[in-house]
Amino acid sequence: MYLMSQQAIVREYRIALGANPQGHKTQQGDERTPEGRYTLDYVKEDSTFYRAMHISYPNRQDRATARENDVDPGGFIMVHGQPNGYGFISVLSQRLDWTDGCIALTNAEMNEFLRLVPVGTPIHIEW
């Protein structure tokens, strides 16, 4: 994942995505990370993962597509750290795609991310 300011790369992170990462998230439980343009719209400090920032999925188009296909689009997609109490496994876990559709960082990177990225920042996710 690239953290950008204008056209310059400020920071690059090795991330873990959903366990089934290729293709846009279309429904709850597909283990995909949504693709498209969203907003990082709030910080969640009481997550089951080490700190988290919410991604505004599903957007209007995601909900419409889910309705057309009679499925739940899912939601509660975050950029987050490691599972609480398991930060030590990030050396291994960041080499795999293991989330249910979120974007995972190490705990140290999550601290940095939250220092550098204000609520309201746009995020463009693409495979």
3-state SS string over the chain?
Answer: CEEEECCEEEEECCCECECCCCCCCCCCCCCCCCCEEEEEEEEECCCCECCEEEECCCCHHHHHHHHHCCCCCCCCCEEECCECCCHHHHHHHCCCCCECCCEECCHHHHHHHHHHCCCCEEEEECC
Mean pLDDT of the 24-37 span: 93
Q: Tens digit of pLDDT for each residue in 76-120? A: 999 999 988 877 778 778 888 889 999 999 999 999 999 999 999
